Amino acid sequence: MTAGRTPLVDFHCHVDLMPDPPGFIRQRDRQEVRTLAVTTTPRAWPQNREWAAGSTHVRPALGMHPQVVAERADEIDLFEAFLSETRYVGEVGLDGSKSHTSSLDLQKAVFNRILSACAREGERILSVHSLRADVSVLDAIEELLPPTRGTVVLHWFTGSTKQAVRAVELGCYFSLNPLMLQTPRHQQLVRAIPLDRLLTETDAPFARGSLEEGGLVMVEETIGRIAELHDMPGSQVTSIIQANLGRLLRT
């Protein structure tokens, strides 16, 4: 990478679902992409911690994905046991889409335990999924995780603008990918979020196009779209996002 270039940020990436996670981590270190490596089950934590142990740019997160809660709710004990080992939590949250509504009550019980555990430990940073469950996710955060005990980054948020504004008031950040910036409704949503709450993400390998050049294309496209929305140069957006990450990590 060129000296002096502002490093990019990918605050939601499924590193352990890549074909070669250790190789991918080395690539991210070479590319200087500051990456949050989210996981989907507490059982995956020890391996992910080990892979990222020597990395300069990749940080592993302890996760329990809402879409696996129906099958793995009992792993919440393991989640609580591992939580003292990491500052980063994700992917966690609620999924209210059709194929997961049957587990929504169980998902809520698990998410409440996750938020309460984070509030007890303090200083945790969480990457949170809220597909078709924006109101419930924010209700739970408001009730259980005050901003003084932890910070939430809403990943691929597609809820209403009203709830986005509420999330900003609750202290949340947002990690964005270009698929969130394609429709006028979503562009309006992103415009409602202050620039100092924005981060970028790929959700690789799930999001379409997220693997091109190891995700760099996607992060750069997101920056380009935010720059268009706010009528400013992409380099300025890159610096703002870098500064946002710095502030988030200092909280």
- Residues lying near Mn ion in the complex (CB under 5 A) are found at 91, 203
Backbone angles phi, psi at 129, to 5 degrees: -90, 135
Which residue, 215 or 240, has its beta carbon nearer to Mn ion?
Answer: 215
* Residue of closest CB approach to Mn ion: 203
Which residue, 10 or 91, has its beta carbon nearer to Mn ion?
Answer: 91
Query: At closest approach, how far in Å is the CB of 110 from Mn ion?
Result: 17
Query: At closest approach, how far in Å is the CB of 243 from Mn ion?
Result: 24
Residues 6+ apart with CB under 8 A from 195: 226, 230, 237, 240
Judge whether 141 and 114 are in contact, CB under 8 Å: no
Instruction: State how far the Cα of 203 lies from the Cα of 11, in Å rounded to an integer.
Output: 8
Query: At closest approach, how far in Å is the CB of 127 from Mn ion?
Result: 8
Residues 6+ apart with CB under 8 A from 240: 195, 196, 198
Q: How distant, in Å, are the alpha carbons of 15, 28, 163, 242 from that of 58?
A: 9, 7, 30, 15
Query: At closest approach, how far in Å is the CB of 90 from Mn ion?
Result: 8
Nearest Cα to 144, choosing from 132, 136, 155? Answer: 136
Q: What is the DSSP letter of 151?
A: E
Which residue, 16 or 91, has its beta carbon nearer to Mn ion?
Answer: 91
Which residue, 61 or 240, has its beta carbon nearer to Mn ion?
Answer: 61
Which residue, 95 or 203, has its beta carbon nearer to Mn ion?
Answer: 203
Alpha helices in 67-103 (DSSP H): 69-72, 76-82
Query: At closest approach, how far in Å is the CB of 226 from Mn ion?
Result: 20
